Structure 1
Amino acid sequence: MIRKRISSVPNIETLKQIHALIIINGSNNVLLLRKLVLTTSTSLVGLTATSTVTNYAHQLFAQIPQPDTFMFNTMIRGSSQSPNPIRAISLYSQMHQCSVKPDNYTFPFVLKACTKLFWVYTGSAVHGRVLRFGFCSNTVVRNALLVFHAKCGDLNVATSLFDDSCKDDVVAWSSLVSGYAKRGDLKFARELFDEMPDRDLVAWNVMITGYAKQGEMENARLLFDEAPVKDVVSWNAMIAGYVVCQLNKQALELFDEMSKAGVWPDEVTLLSLLSACADLGDSEIGQKVHAKVMEISMGKLSTLLGNALIDMYAKCGKIQEALHVFWSIKDKDVISWNSIIVGLAFHGGGKESLSLFKAMLRTKICPNDSTFVGVLAACSHAGKIDEGYKYFDIMRSEYKIEPNIRHCGCMVDMLGRAGLLKEAVKFIDSMKIEPNAIVWRTLLSACKVHGDVELAKEVNEKLLRMRKDESGDYVLMSNLYASRGEWDGVQKVRKLMDDSGVTKSRGFSLVEACN
């Protein structure tokens, strides 16, 4: 009767009740316990398995006095397909210690766990035992080895395993194509893809993603248009590829096609779109994406999407909207705080930025190097020199963050804006890292604002030694001479540009037309 109830249990709570009944009745029936373990282990499969279910299944298994190969295989199978596949490897080691011989059902699931964990050395050791026990000729084991080596092992081994027995297996084909594509050999991956007798959606997506990641968007688009079936992964690969290649308009146009095709976007889609809107400075489309975010999330904004929205609104100059999103995020992380602190700092809200930083320090979230870039930029824009020095020192003394070139650039900008040019030079001389062109250009801009021609000449010489083809450096110096009426200096700079073959790009403006 109990065995029949075990076979038809609807959930883990009922299993626990049956287990309790076995204990109360004083039953020591190992067959019942085995049945209970078998049923519980099936609950480990999939992303819905909780740590409670996992622990319970392993506690039951530990009560079996002498588990055989079948029982080990049952638990290894469940563990390899659970969110915690490391336990499959642990069980496999225990199996070896107990001198329980593995069979052709053991190795595929152990190799699956190694693949999910990206454990190359462990998987290679398992391959050695496969050869030792003579299971390499088994089609299922061979395919598992091929998938492991294609995804994270040795591609040459994967290719050698791909014989006639695998050529009717679409998973083997797709794994090999994926292996070569993900490791950058798109040419051979495409040859394999073209030879595939039957292409599944995985193979199509692998090739589209491979081309997109390498910036070959024309090839990616050709395959995308040819694909007989497209899922959200296909669309995401193309949209993300366009964004990475800074083809943001194409990304937004493709999203319109995606909507017309009736494909529902996911979080990955929306993150790419928000990045495109941020780069374009297009808050109007950004607001439409925001509406879609709220629709998909049912009003419960995730931290990841919330951070992307803050960044998008801040880059579009919509600081109030960025603040609204910031306060609506329930679980703020360091990126949430950094995004709003930096956004405020660069859009005239230096005092508000510093106020939020102080609020951040009252939470349990620890600032990082990006936080202090925002803080120092806020001090620079708000003209708070003393506070800038204080936070620069706190960053090192209290948070053990060594200043990088961005922090140093902010300090030079702060001193330059305040007209403390000699102090800025002293700061640059005291830097532990080599100043780059951006640092010197920041100082050169400050020289122009405050009319210090002599210092500007020295700085300009340093810049020209670094790069002679940067037209902006010449223009800054020329404008400085012009602002002081020193036309001979202007002529010298222009002659130097001509002699160096440097041409200034034409300026342009963007005007957003309203219908």
Structure 2
Amino acid sequence: MIRRQTNDKIPNFHQRSSLWSKCTTFRKLRQIHAYMVVNGFNTSKFNLRELIYVSALVIPSGISYAHEVFDHITQPDRFMWNTMLRGSAQSPNPANTVSLFTQMERRGIQPDRYTFPFVLKACTKLSWSILGCAVHGKITKHGFDENTFAKNTLIYFHANVGEIEIASALFDSSATKQVVAWSALTAGYARRGNLGMARKVFDEMPEKDLISWNVMITAYAKMRQMESAKALFTQVPNPDIVTWNAMIAGYVTSGMHTHALQMFDEMTRVGEQPDEVTMLTLVTACTNSGDLDIGEKIHRSVLSLGGGKLSILLGNALIDMYAKCGEIDKAFKIFNNMKEKVVTTWNSIIGGLAFHGSSEEAINVFKRMRKIKITPNEITFVGVLVACSHAGRVQEGQEYFNLMKKEYKIKPNIRHYGCMVDLFGRAGLLNEAFEFIDQMEIEPNDIIWRTLLGACRVHNHVELGKLANEKLLKLRKGESGDYVLLSNIYASQGEWSGAERLRKVMDDKGVRKEAASSLVDADERMLMRFLFDSKPQMEVDKFKTKVHMKSFDVK
């Protein structure tokens, strides 16, 4: 989306009471909500509006709570509906916006000029072109097609879903081409990856505001064209925090972590105050590069900026960073000092402990999590199953696998199955591992069979090793390492003819064994890297992307 002109504002509660203006955390939100219920204020329209607004738009990741509250309001007014549409469109699950809009129509609530653009924003994020076109029709039907806010949103929608001709026609039909319309078309081209046209529109703009500069710089940064991004950056009259964050994020995405840190130093030298997005990006850079010294420096900066307090997102990111850099004690200390924790926080520390070898502690943390009624998700169980696997707790691992399915109704995915195969394989229960694979509800992939093959190598099981290798070849996923593993299994059993035959097959197929290598940093410390696909880090990335792109967002 794009920012609108100041004469077309969405009503916001900028003049909220001191009570609500201080509500910036889940804990305070719950306290105020409880106070409302106990004292009978939960029937006040003003307080209900504030409650929905704060939970949907102010509290990070508070949209789920907003939905729970909203579902219990018997007669929400149009402002509440629009606020929920807006919050849902900005959330990780924008499809909820469409569901809400359907309910709104069914209840006979008349939309206004702010309603449809939020639905269009969701359609844009989901690339739902057909539904978005239907919304376009509704905008015309209700007479909002000439509204500046609606038209600019339509330009952005059509440009992003590939209907660039429609976007251009809407742009050309505008009586007055405001800078926001130029930015919308530029952003649309940029998001579709057509940087040539985006730059053409940008260069033709009769007037450029800071949003326009940020749109183009962000576009180059997302496409990892950092030379072009830097060239534009040097021309920006007065860069703001969005401009700096776009450059820093671009360098991190491009793997140019040193440049990202240099940009941060330059940013602080000119007096620009970093925000949470800046620090999240830099923590990510340290996590990816394994540079613990710089990571600790960033950690100190984070604490100084936040008055010694950590937000949930920054806390999760720092836990992830320290765990992946091998400093699990520091990760655990951050976890214990965080006053507010969500499921992703628990996932971060459980995964970090499990892959660091602290299996007992990881399982204990999971038990604490259940004791205080924090509902685990699929990522939680990946960490728990890995902990059981590394600790050799086969029976306990099986119990948690069944617990996941029966109590929490979580359908196992390929990673859960992989953990279970690894659990059996490490314990030497290779027949049980094979039987488990045979009973899987989804098709086993190459990782599953490679895990079994590795276990066969450790425990010198020739027959199952041959079977696993055959399955890999049928999947056309046979790699040099797989052949070498099976060859080593033959050799360990003295079956030299089998090993020779396998080597000949490798030669005939042109399979070459890659030379082994290791990674050592300047201090000769091994950089610990995890296979754990950290959900918290994924959410951090989504959050950063959302805020980096706030030049396009409706405010």
Q: Could you state the TM-score of these two structures normalised by the residue count of structure 1?
A: 0.74
Find out whether 1:111 has 2:113 as its counterpart: yes
> In the alignment, is the contact (CA less than 8 A) between 2:10 and 2:114 conserved in 1?
no
CA 1:381–1:218 in structure 2 vs 1: closer, same or farther (change >3 Å)? same
Identical residues among aligned pairs (%): 50
Q: Which residue of 1 is the match for residue 154 of structure 2?
A: 149
Secondary structure class of the residue paired with 1:502: coil
Find out whether 1:353 has 2:362 as its counterpart: yes
Greater shift, 471-480 or 364-373, is seen at: 471-480
User: Considering only CA atoms, is the larger Rg found in Structure 1 or Structure 2?
Assistant: 1
Return the letter of the residue paired with 2:349.
I
CA 1:164–1:445 in structure 2 vs 1: closer, same or farther (change >3 Å)? closer
> In the alignment, is the contact (CA less than 8 A) between 1:149 and 1:157 conserved in 2?
no
Matches of 1:502 and 1:431, distance apart in 2: 31
Q: Which residue of 2 is the match for residue 433 of structure 1?
A: 442
Matches of 1:332 and 1:259, distance apart in 2: 30
Greater shift, 483-492 or 48-57, is seen at: 48-57
Matches of 1:205 and 1:313, distance apart in 2: 32
Return the letter of the residue paired with 2:412.
P
Find out whether 1:511 has 2:516 as its counterpart: no
Structure 2: gaps of 5 or more residues: 1-8, 22-43, 50-77, 88-100, 122-131, 525-555
Per-residue CA shift, 1:171-219, capped at 9, x if unaligned? 2211221233234443322221121122222112112222333444454
Per-residue CA shift, 1:426-475, capped at 9, x if unaligned? 11111111111111111111111111122212211211222356222123
Q: How many Å apart are 1:285 and its aligned residue?
A: 1.6
CA 1:215–1:124 in structure 2 vs 1: closer, same or farther (change >3 Å)? farther
> In the alignment, is the contact (CA less than 8 A) between 2:479 and 2:511 conserved in 1?
yes
> In the alignment, is the contact (CA less than 8 A) between 2:354 and 2:362 conserved in 1?
yes
CA 1:508–1:152 in structure 2 vs 1: closer, same or farther (change >3 Å)? same
Matches of 2:10 and 2:451, distance apart in 1: 61
Q: How many Å apart are 1:307 and its aligned residue?
A: 0.7
> In the alignment, is the contact (CA less than 8 A) between 1:150 and 1:180 conserved in 2?
no
Secondary structure class of the residue paired with 1:295: helix
Find out whether 1:371 has 2:384 as its counterpart: no
Equivalent position to 2:140, from 108, 124, 127: 127
Matches of 1:262 and 1:475, distance apart in 2: 57
CA 1:492–1:264 in structure 2 vs 1: closer, same or farther (change >3 Å)? farther
Matches of 2:498 and 2:349, distance apart in 1: 43
Equivalent position to 1:382, from 371, 391, 397: 391
CA 1:487–1:237 in structure 2 vs 1: closer, same or farther (change >3 Å)? farther
Equivalent position to 1:297, from 284, 287, 306: 306
Q: How many Å apart are 1:502 and its aligned residue?
A: 2.5
Find out whether 1:344 has 2:357 as its counterpart: no
> In the alignment, is the contact (CA less than 8 A) between 1:123 and 1:148 conserved in 2?
no
CA 1:329–1:57 in structure 2 vs 1: closer, same or farther (change >3 Å)? closer
Return the letter of the residue paired with 1:114.
F
CA 1:292–1:450 in structure 2 vs 1: closer, same or farther (change >3 Å)? same
Return the letter of the residue paired with 1:493.
L
Return the letter of the residue paired with 1:151.
Y
Q: How many Å apart are 1:56 and its aligned residue?
A: 4.2
What is the correspondence of 1:355-504 to structure 2 with a 5 Å cutoff? Answer: 355-467=364-476, 470-504=479-513
Q: How many Å apart are 1:481 and its aligned residue?
A: 3.7
Matches of 1:201 and 1:255, distance apart in 2: 20
Matches of 2:176 and 2:11, distance apart in 1: 32
CA 1:129–1:479 in structure 2 vs 1: closer, same or farther (change >3 Å)? same
Secondary structure class of the residue paired with 1:152: helix
Matches of 1:421 and 1:57, distance apart in 2: 61
CA 1:442–1:127 in structure 2 vs 1: closer, same or farther (change >3 Å)? same
CA RMSD, aligned part only? 3.6
> In the alignment, is the contact (CA less than 8 A) between 1:149 and 1:155 conserved in 2?
no
Matches of 1:500 and 1:251, distance apart in 2: 44
> In the alignment, is the contact (CA less than 8 A) between 1:115 and 1:152 conserved in 2?
no
Matches of 2:272 and 2:490, distance apart in 1: 59
CA 1:387–1:208 in structure 2 vs 1: closer, same or farther (change >3 Å)? same
Q: How many Å apart are 1:328 and its aligned residue?
A: 1.0
Secondary structure class of the residue paired with 2:316: helix
Matches of 2:510 and 2:321, distance apart in 1: 38
What is the correspondence of 1:1-80 to structure 2 with a 5 Å cutoff? Answer: 45=12, 47=14, 49=16, 55-56=45-46
Matches of 1:236 and 1:190, distance apart in 2: 20
Q: How many Å apart are 1:368 and its aligned residue?
A: 0.7
CA 1:49–1:505 in structure 2 vs 1: closer, same or farther (change >3 Å)? farther
Per-residue CA shift, 1:342-375, capped at 9, x if unaligned? 1111111111111111110011210111111111
Greater shift, 447-456 or 219-228, is seen at: 219-228
Return the letter of the residue paired with 1:149.
L
Q: How many residues align?
A: 432
> In the alignment, is the contact (CA less than 8 A) between 2:156 and 2:167 conserved in 1?
no
Secondary structure class of the residue paired with 1:162: helix
Return the letter of the residue paired with 1:472.
G
Q: How many Å apart are 1:247 and its aligned residue?
A: 4.3
Q: Could you state the TM-score of these two structures normalised by the residue count of structure 2?
A: 0.69
Q: Which has the higher contact order (CA 8 A, sep 6+)?
A: 2
